[in-house]
Every structure is written in C-alpha cells, then in structure tokens.
A and B are shown apart, each in its own frame.
Chain A
Amino acid sequence: MIEVKNVTKRFGATVALDGLSFEVKKGEVLGFLGPNGAGKTTMMRIITCYMPATDGAVSVAGHDTLTDSFQVRERIGYLPESAPLYLDMSVADYLSFVAKVRGIESGSIRDRIKKTSEMCGLRKVIGKDIGTLSKGFRQRVGLAQALIHNPDILILDEPTTGLDPAQIIEMRELIKRIGKEKTVILCSHILPEVAATCDRILIIVNGKRVASGTPDELTSSSGESVNITARIHGPKEDVREKISAMDMVIGCRIKETRGDGPATFLIKAKPGDDVGQDIFKMAVDNNFSLSELRVERVSLEDVFLQLTTKEVVSE
C-alpha cells in the first residue's frame, strides 16, 4: 500500500532521513518508532505530500507522491503531531470545512460528520469551539478530521501525547478498532503504545532503519539470551549440574539464600521456548519439586534502548 524507496531528506547540512526504505502492506498497522529527532515526522510529512524527499521515491497505492500528489492526498487521513486545529471554529464547522475540502458531496456531509463524530466520541461537544475543548477532545477532533473522508490509509503522528492514562487507553482502543479496516502508520516514541496496537514495528534512529519486525520477532531476535529463575527443592549441587548439562543452558548459578529453604537457581539460556519445559521435566523425572519457574523475556523496551543507544555510541 505504501512503498518507501531509499528516501533521503536533507535540510541544509542536516540529514533528517538517510536512505530509508520500507513497505506497509494493505490492512497492516505499522508502528514507526524512534527517539525524538529520529526523522519520524519528516517521513510522515513526505508520505503525506507536505514536502518532497531530497532523494528517493514514495508511492501510495501505486501513486507517486510527487507526480500524483492529489491521488495520494485523497487516500490519506493525517493527524499531525499535537493535533493542530483552528481554535476559533466550532467542531461542527471545522469538520464540515474539512469535508468540503475533502470533496464530500454537500448532500452527504451531514451524514459523514454524524458518523465520524459518533465514532470518535464527539457527539457531546459538536457545537463547541475547539479552543474551549480539553486536550483529549482536541485529539479526537483531529482524529475525526482524518477519518471524515473514510480514507484507506491513516497516518497518526504521536496521537496520545498529552493525554491522561484513561484517554490513552481509549485512544489505543480506537486505533485498534480502526486498524481492523484500514492501513495505519502510528508514529511514536512510546513503546508500550506501539507494542499494544501494531502488527509490525519499524525502528529508526538518525534517519536510518535499525530494526523491523513483529513485536515478538524483535524481542526474540535481538536478545542473545534469556534469564530464567527457578526454585527447586532438592540437593543443590546435584540440581545445578543437571541444569548445566542441558543443551540450551549457557550457565547456571545458585542464588545465595538464608536458611534451609529451597534453593533459587539463576539460569542463563539460549533464546527459545523449551528451556522452561526442560527444567520442569528434569524436576519431575528426578522427583524434585518445583515451586517457581519464571522466564524473563527481553522486553521491547530493552530492544529499543539497545538499538537506539548502540547507534549513538558508535558515532
């Protein structure tokens, strides 16, 4: 649906995007992740035809953003960072302005406004001036504005900044619901947000791609090892030897414990699902009883930090 090929964007001497390529398939929800200043917003502005790339090509549904800009614009709904809106207009006036510009026939404008405002929970504030609305409602107006022409593609740049936790959850639910029918790019520097809503994640740093994949792929591929904590009743040394002998296990040590209670083993193993199972089987086979078994997965947070800080160090 969206194809970005080798896009470079320079502002004078600064390079905002450096040969970035990626693809978003129809119906996919892509999380576009990166630290502040990584070039996320610039990339979104290029896809939405706000500015051209210095080099490279972007096509949306087969239409080039440079030569076929209007075809592209018609297919995209865009919510820029911090939802910029005309504060002196009422919600209804604003939505009908957008609807007109978006080319919705005047006969069906009312109907579209009704539908989108219901979808975004704006019924109560439809007659109010945007300037008097809270941040959460403004964000929803921004979203309604992006949805009014029922576009195939939705581009959201940090849609939850400035919202309170309840509103953030609400917004995520809304995005998830919309994501079922539409192709969505969600820009963010907040990991849980992307992890909670996206099918696929793309991480960029300094205008370059550093990783991409599903949340699961990212967490499993980047971690070199997993940590497992196990509490096993049995002769300490015997258990330790048995664990160390397993294929996947890299190392195992006994955590210092006070008193006689069961020992806690800290195990380092290669990534994979079956280590925990092996340990359980071993305990059963040897008649040891197992009172705790915890696999600590590498979180997306760790992956993100690892990827983004590595880049900075190497420069």
Chain B
Amino acid sequence: MRNVCAIFQKELRSYFNSPVAYIVIILFVGFTSWLFFRSFFIANRAVMRDYFSMLPWLFMIFGPLITMRLWAEEKKLKTMELLMTMPIKDWQAVLGKYIASLFLLSSMLILSLPIAITVASLGNMDWGPVIGGYIGAFLMGAAYLSIGVFASCLTENQIVAAIVSFFLSFAMWIIGESFVIFVMPASLAALFEYVGLGSHFKSIGRGVIDSRDLIYYFTVIGFFLFLNAKGIERRKWA
C-alpha cells in the first residue's frame, strides 16, 4: 500500500506540476458546458441526458490525453529501469499510476458539477438519473483509462500511446452500438452488446445500478490492468 501511495503521489505531482492537468480539466469543463448549454435552452427541459450521452465520445479523446505519458515517459526517460529495480512490485506501480489517472478523471467530473447545479436551479430536475449518470460516467471513464494506461506501456512514444488507446477505446465502444449489432448474426449480437462499453453506461445512466454492469466495468478494468502488468514484464525478455 505504501508503494502504491508513493507512486500515486508522484504521478499526481507530475500531473499538476505540468500544464497537462489544468489544460485537460479546463478544456473538458469548458467544452462540455458549451456543447450542453447550446442545445439545453432550445430543448428547455431540466434533464441532463444530452450531457451524459456525449461523455463517451469526449472521454475517448480526454482519456488518452490523461494516460499517454504514464508509462511512455518512463520508457523514454529510461526511469523505468530505476523504478523497476526499487522494492516495488509491478502491480503496485500499475495501480499507483492508474489511481492517479482516476484522480484526474474525478476532478474533471467534480468540476463539471456546476452544470448539474445550474440545471437543477432552472427547473425541476430529477436527481436519480443525474447521480446514475455521474456514476456511469466515472465507471466508463475508468474503463477508458485502464485501456489508456495499457496502451501507454506498449510504446515510448506518447503520441503513439494516445492514438492506440483512442482506437482501442473506440473499438470497445463501437462493438456494442446498435448499428454494429444490427449487422451481426444473432448469436454474436448479444455477446457484442455485452462486451461493448456503451450498453452498461446507458443502463446505469437510467438511474438503475445493476451489479451486472458494475461487474462488467470492474472486469474490463481488471483485465486491462492485468495486461498492463504483463506489458511491463516484457522488459525481462527484450
């Protein structure tokens, strides 16, 4: 635990020592507010469904921006050699870095809360779906980030890491979407819908927190963090 904590603090410090964290947070909050309120007053209804429905797409871009440096930079600077010869287990390093990225995701979501408060003050908003939406957004963002840290450990080039994680996230999202499932044979459709990131997000977004959805997200996160640990073990053979 001590090691996870030390790595977490170090990563957090580098996020906030550099402009990365501020840029990501400001862009995210500004961009989502603008996109949301642009159509909000036209629709003139106190709901946040439109807000949450654009998050999967935005996270696809912001997720890779958060995670791309986590391992790629260690590889580029060769600090990985020092890190991996300290008394730290591989999984502790993976977890420390991942939690740091989660922290950034949480700050993004927390700082977008004024949107919800604004909406609630303007009309009679139902908080159920909003809370569900935030939980769903956090879980889905967390899944994207796990994909992102894994992609970051594959290369020492941050741009490559970002692109790889974007495409992996996109693939994970798109396979569950209705227009993909529509052309699938019926036997595969159910599987694809389950594996895709989107369907679970939508069901949590309705305000229904089902343990199956939670289990799904934890499995995806666990799987990619496991791949990440395996990925940094590759140093042993090459």
Chain A residues in the interface with B (C-beta under 8 A): 11, 45, 48-52, 70, 73-74, 76, 78, 80, 82, 84-89, 93, 97-98, 100-103, 145
Bound Cα distance from A80 to B85, whole angstroms: 10
* Set A11, A88, A101: member contacting B238, Cβ < 8 A: A11
A73 and B13 within 8 A (CB): no
**Stretch from B74-82, B182-190, B196-204 that touches the partner:** B74-82
Output the nearest chain A residue to B236 by Cβ-Cβ distance: A51
B81 and A84 within 8 A (CB): yes
Residues of A within 8 A of B42 (CB): none
A101 and B235 within 8 A (CB): no
Chain B residues in the interface with A (C-beta under 8 A): 2-3, 5-7, 9-10, 13-14, 17-18, 77-82, 84-88, 235-238
Bound Cα distance from A84 to B81, whole angstroms: 8
A51 and B10 within 8 A (CB): no
Q: A73-B86, A89-B10 are in contact. Are A51 and B79 (CB under 8 A)?
A: no
* Set B3, B6, B7, B17: member contacting A89, Cβ < 8 A: B17
B77 and A85 within 8 A (CB): yes
Bound Cα distance from A290 to B10, whole angstroms: 70
Residue among B77, B79, B82 with max Cβ neighbours from chain A (10 Å): B82
B85 and A103 within 8 A (CB): no
Nearest CB in chain B: distance from A167 CB, A: 21
A101 and B78 within 8 A (CB): no
A89 and B14 within 8 A (CB): yes
Bound Cα distance from A97 to B77, whole angstroms: 17
Output the nearest chain A residue to B89 by Cβ-Cβ distance: A70
Residues of A within 8 A of B235 (CB): 50-51
Residues of A within 8 A of B18 (CB): 88
A82 and B87 within 8 A (CB): no
Bound Cα distance from A49 to B85, whole angstroms: 6
Interface of B is mostly: helix
Nearest CB in chain B: distance from A223 CB, A: 38
Output the nearest chain A residue to B79 by Cβ-Cβ distance: A84
Residues of A within 8 A of B79 (CB): 84-86
Residues of A within 8 A of B82 (CB): 78, 80, 84, 145
Bound Cα distance from A169 to B85, whole angstroms: 28
Q: Can you pick out 22 interface pairs between chain A and chain B where the beta carbons lie within 8 Å of each other?
A: A11-B238, A45-B81, A48-B85, A50-B236, A51-B235, A70-B87, A73-B85, A74-B87, A80-B81, A84-B77, A84-B78, A84-B79, A84-B80, A84-B81, A86-B77, A89-B13, A93-B13, A97-B6, A100-B2, A101-B7, A102-B87, A103-B2
B14 and A88 within 8 A (CB): yes
Bound Cα distance from A50 to B82, whole angstroms: 8
Nearest CB in chain B: distance from A106 CB, A: 10
Nearest CB in chain A: distance from B134 CB, A: 31
B86 and A102 within 8 A (CB): yes
Q: Which 3 A-B pairs have the closest CB atoms?
A: A84-B78, A100-B6, A48-B85
Bound Cα distance from A284 to B237, whole angstroms: 67
* Set A48, A82, A98, A145: member contacting B78, Cβ < 8 A: A82
Q: A70-B87, A84-B82 are in contact. Are A101 and B17 (CB under 8 A)?
A: no
Other CB < 8 Å A-B pairs besides A84-B77, A88-B18, A97-B9, 15 of them?
A48-B85, A50-B236, A51-B237, A52-B236, A73-B85, A76-B85, A84-B81, A85-B79, A87-B77, A88-B17, A89-B10, A93-B13, A100-B2, A100-B9, A103-B2
Nearest CB in chain B: distance from A105 CB, A: 10
Output the nearest chain A residue to B15 by Cβ-Cβ distance: A88
Bound Cα distance from A84 to B73, whole angstroms: 11
Bound Cα distance from A15 to B13, whole angstroms: 41
B9 and A78 within 8 A (CB): no
B88 and A101 within 8 A (CB): yes
Bound Cα distance from A101 to B88, whole angstroms: 7
Nearest CB in chain A: distance from B149 CB, A: 17
Nearest CB in chain A: distance from B218 CB, A: 27
Output the nearest chain A residue to B86 by Cβ-Cβ distance: A101
Bound Cα distance from A45 to B80, whole angstroms: 12
Nearest CB in chain A: distance from B157 CB, A: 17
B14 and A86 within 8 A (CB): yes
Output the nearest chain B residue to A73 by Cβ-Cβ distance: B87
Nearest CB in chain A: distance from B112 CB, A: 27
A97 and B87 within 8 A (CB): no
Bound Cα distance from A51 to B232, whole angstroms: 11
Output the nearest chain A residue to B83 by Cβ-Cβ distance: A101
Residues of B within 8 A of A78 (CB): 82, 85
Output the nearest chain B residue to A93 by Cβ-Cβ distance: B13
Bound Cα distance from A98 to B82, whole angstroms: 10
A50 and B86 within 8 A (CB): no
Residues of B within 8 A of A93 (CB): 13
Output the nearest chain B residue to A97 by Cβ-Cβ distance: B10
Residues of A within 8 A of B77 (CB): 84-87
Residue among A49, A70, A74, A88 with max Cβ neighbours from chain B (10 Å): A88
Residues of B within 8 A of A73 (CB): 85-87
Bound Cα distance from A14 to B86, whole angstroms: 28
Residue among B7, B77, B86 with max Cβ neighbours from chain A (10 Å): B86
Output the nearest chain A residue to B7 by Cβ-Cβ distance: A101
Q: A50-B85, A88-B18, A101-B87 are in contact. Are A80 and B9 (CB under 8 A)?
A: no
